[in-house]
Structure 1
Amino acid sequence: MPLTEPQIRDILRPHRDGGPISRLYATGEIGDGLHTALDDLAATLLAADRDEQHEQILDVVRYVIAVGPRPPVARWVAANAKES
């Protein structure tokens, strides 16, 4: 079953990077550098034996691939957020 947008935000909340991961988290934007940043994060989590988080990030990667590039989404936070 595909991830929902609130699930994506929940997964990404602890991994905000001030870059492409943060842009997806905050605005829904899928742009340059996101796939690489998620792959790097997944590798870091795997190396740290954080298997559950690693799998969650791989789920986000699958979402990003399925959706493809997109600009920021209007009302992304208002419609999907449990803000930290």
Structure 2
Amino acid sequence: MMKKKSATDWKRLASAKDEQIDTSEMPELAGDFFERAELHVPPKQAVTMRLDADVLSWFKEQGQGYQTRINKLLRAYMMAQQRRQP
């Protein structure tokens, strides 16, 4: 499967100064936004899981946070499956 190429000029965007970026369609957040904001983090549950040794080793080689990366990968798979369901 071939990835679709983005039409965004990422190099130009990365080198643009803040004042050069048109933000007229997305107004800045009011000062009290973050005072009222609430963080909702899904609860974690400890599990025992059997993984292939080479798979676990590869994730651990990526450094600290490997369990979080595994969780993100599983979540992405879950969400993709949920989108496919009628």
Larger radius of gyration: 2
The higher-RCO structure (CA 8 Å, 6+ apart) is 1
Name the structure with the higher helix share: 1
TM over 0.5: no
- TM-score tier after normalising by the smaller chain length: under 0.3
